[in-house]
Amino acid sequence: MKRAAESRSALIALTRRELVRFIRQPSRIVAAVGTGAIVWLLLASGMAGSFVSPAITEGTEGGPANTYAAYLIPGMATMIVLFASIFSAISLIQDRHAGFLQSVLVSPAPAWAIVGSKVAGAVIIAVLQGAIVLAAAPLVGIHPGVVGYAVAALALILAATFVSCIGMALAWRMDSVAGFHGVMNLVLLPLWVFSGAMFPVEGMADWMKWVARCNPLAWSTRAMGSALGTTNPSILDWGGALLAAAGAFALAWFIMGKRYIRAGGEEGAG
């Protein structure tokens, strides 16, 4: 019982550290949310006439959600989650260089507390930033109501969990921020591009449709859109998003926890 209490205390303390660190770096908020806002404005104003999708439906409370600006809301929220998760993953590499990670690895804190705190901190930070976009939905005629917002937030959490865990798993094996950026451009950004965030899947080439349909990030993005009333609902998207989040967490646990168990010393040897 005492051991479990100590483990929970370690989890809470390490998670709190991630949140405090985020609050003390407001530039991360500006970078993530600002980039999303700029991309949203550019796409919505400059390319609205280029994309028309039958999947875009009316708002759940009768509001007109059949515009391209409205369609972009879930995708922009996902993009902000992606950027926020990338910043959190970079902080993991910085912790290693600063020596903090080494000290934690040789502490009595269990592996699950260390892995869980990094993932929990990243997910909370990503969701808080993505929620800013969801809160702006009424500006483009989306009025999902309390239930719709709650369901959209759940989809946002699934997207944040998936991206954060993948980012953490990749960053755990990276020795430099530059190297992680290269992997990010190769793995994470294409996931967002092929998620249907910028343009409807229905208008893609056949091979791109298959890529989008097999893209885990597309499942959570479409699930979020269905909650907001901008895309047609599908139980397959929700099931896929849930499995993707669980699978990504298992991957992060395997990679990060395995290296922790093998030695507080391998990372400590730095």
Q: Which pTM does this prediction carry?
A: 0.83
Q: How does 84-115 read in b/e, with b if 16+ C-beta sit within 10 Å?
A: bbbbbbbbbbebbeeeebbebbeeebbbebbb
pLDDT tens track, the chain, 270 positions:
666 676 788 788 888 988 988 888 888 778 777 887 888 888 877 665 665 555 444 444 444 455 788 888 999 999 999 988 888 888 888 888 888 877 777 777 777 777 888 889 999 999 999 999 899 888 888 888 899 999 999 999 999 999 999 998 888 888 888 888 888 888 888 889 888 888 777 777 788 888 888 999 999 999 999 898 877 778 999 999 999 999 999 998 888 776 554 444 444 333
Q: Which residues contact 267 (CB under 8 A, 6 or more apart)?
A: 96, 101, 102, 105, 259, 260
Contact 140, 67 (CB under 8 A): yes
Domain map (residue ranges) of the chain: 67-268
Q: How does 217-233 read in b/e, with b if 16+ C-beta sit within 10 Å?
A: bbbbbbbbbbbbbbbee
